[in-house]
């Protein structure tokens, strides 16, 4: 096998492995609510939902976060700003249970349990 052929095989295997890892990576969904679609439009073009669902922020912190993201380019209609803040504050407040990441088939249950206890 020539060097070029071996390199192509290695690159192909790497790409397949990366696709499988991505495909098995669970992605959370935003919870139901009156602003779910607006939140998805504003946030999920840059972030996976799991970045959001793991947060536990106060209303003041969500206000700062949404304003920051809007300054960084998130498309947030000014008339939707307060509704988004209310949606995120209600869904992902410090009063909500601690986020526990879903496990994948490749992750042993004992490892997932250790993560949840931290």
Report pTM. 0.65
Q: What are the sequence ranges of the domains in the chain?
A: 28-100
pLDDT: which is higher, 109 or 75: 75
What pLDDT is attached to residue 6? 61
Query: How many angstroms separate the Cα of 47 from the Cα of each of 28, 41, 42, 53?
Result: 11, 11, 10, 11
| Helical packing angle, 81-91 and 36-43, nearest 10° | 100
Whether pLDDT at 111 is above 90: no
Using one digit for the tens of pLDDT, what is the confidence trace for 20-39? 444 334 458 999 999 999 99
Q: Which CATH architecture has domain 28-100?
A: Orthogonal Bundle (1.10)
Lowest-confidence region among 13-17, 31-35, 66-70, 77-81: 13-17
């Amino acid at each position: 096998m020539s060097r070029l052929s071996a390199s192509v095989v290695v690159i192909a295997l790497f790409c397949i492995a990366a696709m499988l890892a991505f495909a098995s990576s669970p992605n959370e969904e935003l919870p139901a609510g009156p602003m779910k679609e607006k939140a998805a439009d504003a946030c999920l073009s840059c972030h996976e939902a799991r970045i959001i669902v793991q947060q536990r922020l106060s209303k003041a912190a969500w206000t700062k976060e949404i304003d920051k993201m809007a300054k960084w380019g998130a498309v947030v209609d000014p008339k939707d700003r307060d509704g988004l803040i209310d949606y995120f504050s209600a869904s992902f407040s410090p009063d909500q249970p601690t986020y526990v990441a879903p496990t994948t088939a490749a992750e042993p249950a004992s490892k997932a349990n250790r993560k949840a206890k931290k």
